Structure 1
């Protein structure tokens, strides 16, 4: 029987029945995405294929009908917008190169994961279609404005489909740029939809549950472990990708996750306080200063590195120091030169866990006397996003310094995990 990509089919072969959505295939096998989220490749020889449901265009508006129970049920579901930026969750095989490329739109995601339509009434929009290494600050601004427009138009939750490599930067930036009354959930996948053991379906379904929840913050929802048990809900300013390829690559740093979604029951369990839905008014502050940089200190590194950024007109610097937040003594004059020129310098640590404290050793005290700001337990990339945002809000040096010291979006916590 003839079938097309996107059709829901039942395949019977060797006494075993498989059911799922037909996916692209670069081999002679029929590839389907099963309800479990896993892909199965089946040799078509002697296989009996039955089309259960033809592919539907979820982008086509539903015609009003008083007789359609399915449409009536959908209209009662929360309205959630999926904004696609590209990345592996919105990728498939490029038949020209054989490599994974960002080609899917937000509507393709909905078609590939039909279980989503049981959770919310979705609309989809592609903001841009890039792999996340091509992310830029101006794209954050475009995304923030698109999110605010969707919320203003009635969206009760937002899902941002994003590449995993730079998702932590985007989530941090949006955490500062938007005060939101509804959930804004970043989600991605480590393996594309048309590969075996793809994590895109489970991650997207868990993200959808968070998008209709009471957690009105910017979060990242990804696999908790290598099994398919649950997805963690990470605060957007406390998450980092810690593995190149594992499905459980994302971890909260210096904090526990807000909670998790149990994939078996789709129930949300929380362990941290969070901003509740509807507890604050929607506000966007999307001005950014892009002339900011992270500088990593290494043993023997020349202070000329800092001098370059100062002389090149950079407006803010984040230093990844050693241990408690240190650089060598010959860097300190350049730190002081920067701060006296009105360039804020934030000291963070190359250590994943713990808090910067420049009051323990002489070098640290000298760094503070030179005007550096202790980054507390912020990750360097979060401090960078915050610096860009703070300088976008004010040209006053003292004001920016005060903002960098203030806990604005959960980026600074009173306690660091041991």
Structure 2
């Protein structure tokens, strides 16, 4: 057995049991006084964001001095409707005034049919403050570090509006079943859509996670936007050494206002994994489109592979580390790295002058040359076994001579780079291009930043990129490690 395989230890199990959170939101539409009950919709769509009312609706509401959240009485076409005025979203019908009735159903009224609007009650000025209960000795304490994203939202069931969880306590209360699994101490590190995250955010997150372990946390859960979740898990995997407990990064493909939301199950699964005998950074997401189980992915091997499916995440060139079942059982494979005795160390030096470049047929030499100018490193996502067009090889060779570390990954995502097979690959090797082995382009990009944060000496960079640090290199890819 190779040394890199031996590093990822033995079989460990730690089942926890609790009930599963269920969220269901049902709507109805009223047009011209006729009610049509809507059906539950699970088709993929973006999260509806609050926008201003259309001019005709705004004029009616301004006349009544009404705004969303008010309780209003509306007369339309001889019908009388009383309920909570809902906010207008990007997906709301044009010139439709929407109320939430006391029954919980929503009604939409065409503004042209409205005869009068009267405000009968105003909402409280502020949301009630919520506090987590004191910890109990019979449960482990998990730290929840909020970062934003779809999972960090909750439904105001009075208005039906989706709010960002402005405090980590609100995020926890969106899934109160978490408190049956563990004690929670929660705080928001930042609240950012994941596409806006930068390497500096990864560094801060690593430091904050380490602080939690110093304070005795039995595990850390990081709710995170899904779009760049795999960048963050890779970065934390390299920057956090000798983990005394798991760091579990978790997201949601659909917000909690959706009947098909995966937020509650994913958060609950993440909390259970955070108490398991696991000493590495992992991602926990849905294993199937249904709620049958969650999957535990190694932080350096996971990638988002679909824009909207609930089971969008896959382990690439590796099998998952385990499963989380709805009854609370956590199953871990023999490949997991167990908890270290510690202390957990932060090694967060990063070189930010690194780029991820996608090769395509017809790519101009001048474009690649301009992209590489001023960089310390670049990961090229090449075709197949790791190729670019022959006219780009001198550009890469020149960059290597100028001190730029150039690493070749593959656009296929699955499989290994092998530049020894064809002439193009051998020419790239002669030019000094380093193989990313079976790392995804994203993991190779993050690792190169981390390596260059420690050294820029070409032989040392090449050696470090070929060394398995956090399970990012699989010495042998088995037939069962192809993600379908």
Alignment of structure 1 residues 4-403 onto 2, 5 Å:
44-45=102-103, 59=131, 62=134, 74-92=136-154, 102-179=164-241, 180-263=243-326, 265-311=327-373, 313-403=374-464
Please identify the structure whose Cα radius of gyration is greater: 2
- 8 Å Cα contact 1:259/1:272 also seen in 2: no
Once the two structures are superposed, residues 108-142 of structure 1 have per-residue CA deviations (whole angstroms, 9 ceiling, x without a partner) of 12111111011111100100001111111111111
Paired with 2:155 and 2:353, the residues of 1 have a C-alpha distance of 36
- 8 Å Cα contact 1:82/1:161 also seen in 2: yes
- Could you state the TM-score of these two structures normalised by the residue count of structure 1? 0.82
C-alpha spacing 1:134/1:92, structure 2 compared with 1 (3 Å) = farther
Give how far 1:104 is off.
4.0
Paired with 2:452 and 2:237, the residues of 1 have a C-alpha distance of 15
Paired with 1:162 and 1:86, the residues of 2 have a C-alpha distance of 6
- 8 Å Cα contact 1:102/1:131 also seen in 2: no
Residue of structure 1 in register with 2:94 after alignment: none
Give how far 1:303 is off.
2.1
Unaligned runs of 5+ in 1: 1-7, 9-23, 32-41, 48-54, 63-70
Give how far 1:287 is off.
1.3
Give how far 1:230 is off.
0.4
Is 1:414 matched with 2:475?
yes
Matched residue SS, 2:151: helix
C-alpha spacing 1:203/1:357, structure 2 compared with 1 (3 Å) = same
Matched residue SS, 1:89: coil
C-alpha spacing 1:394/1:196, structure 2 compared with 1 (3 Å) = same
Give how far 1:272 is off.
4.1
Give how far 1:268 is off.
1.2
Matched residue SS, 2:273: helix
C-alpha spacing 1:190/1:146, structure 2 compared with 1 (3 Å) = same
Paired with 2:131 and 2:349, the residues of 1 have a C-alpha distance of 32
Paired with 2:163 and 2:388, the residues of 1 have a C-alpha distance of 40
C-alpha spacing 1:114/1:101, structure 2 compared with 1 (3 Å) = closer
Give how far 1:346 is off.
0.6
Give how far 1:410 is off.
0.5
Matched residue SS, 2:147: strand
Give how far 1:341 is off.
1.5
C-alpha spacing 1:221/1:28, structure 2 compared with 1 (3 Å) = farther
C-alpha spacing 1:28/1:133, structure 2 compared with 1 (3 Å) = farther
Matched residue SS, 1:144: helix
Residue of structure 2 in register with 1:14 after alignment: none
- 8 Å Cα contact 1:86/1:104 also seen in 2: no
Residue of structure 2 in register with 1:20 after alignment: none
- Could you state the TM-score of these two structures normalised by the residue count of structure 2? 0.71
Question: Relative contact order: is structure 1 or structure 2 higher (C-alpha 8 Å, sep ≥ 6)?
Answer: 2
Give how far 1:238 is off.
0.4
RMSD over aligned CA atoms reads 2.9
C-alpha spacing 1:87/1:335, structure 2 compared with 1 (3 Å) = same
Unaligned runs of 5+ in 2: 1-21, 23-49, 51-67, 70-81, 87-99, 106-126, 480-484
C-alpha spacing 1:123/1:242, structure 2 compared with 1 (3 Å) = same
Once the two structures are superposed, residues 204-237 of structure 1 have per-residue CA deviations (whole angstroms, 9 ceiling, x without a partner) of 0110010000011100000000111100000000
Paired with 1:228 and 1:388, the residues of 2 have a C-alpha distance of 37
Give how far 1:398 is off.
2.1
Give how far 1:195 is off.
2.1
